[in-house]
Amino acid sequence: MSVAFVKEESAETAAETLLPDRPVSPHPNLVTEAGLEALKRQLEEAREAYGAASAIEDVNERRRQAAGPLRDLRYFTERVRTAQVMPEPTTSEVVAFGSTVTFSREDGRVQTYRIVGEDEADPRAGTISYVSPVARQLMGKRVGDVVSVAEQALELVAIS
């Protein structure tokens, strides 16, 4: 039988479908309650996508379709496993993980962000990671304090 009529898995095909792991931050995996729930949802979505890809009959197509969900499964499994749910801040006197901060910039812009875990940070949605330069400078500060980030002064005007 001609090899053209036989489906064979080649080492090249297998290597093409292995995706490198998503990088995992070296920082503690601090999360809010909502952040943990989002990680669990993303893990379940990856499981479902992997299950759907695993049902594909053609082995090479199955590998191609499963590569992304498999990588996401490894990542979200690790992130859920290492998640440390942080309590809501007990005071609005000092900036802490979970605080919503409002600060003014030298150029007059006023911005408000909630400080959250790395996986749940989305500046466009009003959240920043606790390891971001702005959050790191603001942690432990009080209203009226001024910090410098990237050679720009930020004045903390509200904490909630």
Looking at residue 69, which CATH number applies to its domain?
1.10.287
Tell me the backbone φ, ψ of residue 84, rounded to 5 degrees.
-120, 105
Whether the Cβ atoms of residue 120 and residue 32 lie closer than 8 Å to each other: yes
| Domain co-membership, 52 together with 101 | no
Domain boundary among 52, 85, 118: 85
Counting the structural domains of the chain, the total is 2
Q: Output the pTM of the full model.
A: 0.85
Q: Provide the CATH number for the domain around residue 121.
A: 3.10.50.30
Domain boundary among 85, 108, 129: 85
Instruction: Quickly count: other Cβ atoms within 10 Å of residue 128's Cβ.
Output: 22
| Domain co-membership, 80 together with 99 | no
- Which domain covers residue 74, as residue numbers? 4-85
pLDDT tens series, the chain, 160 aa:
444 544 455 544 454 568 899 999 999 999 999 999 999 999 999 999 999 999 999 999 999 999 999 999 999 999 999 999 999 999 999 999 999 999 999 999 999 999 999 999 999 999 999 999 999 999 999 999 999 999 999 999 999 9
| Domain co-membership, 74 together with 105 | no
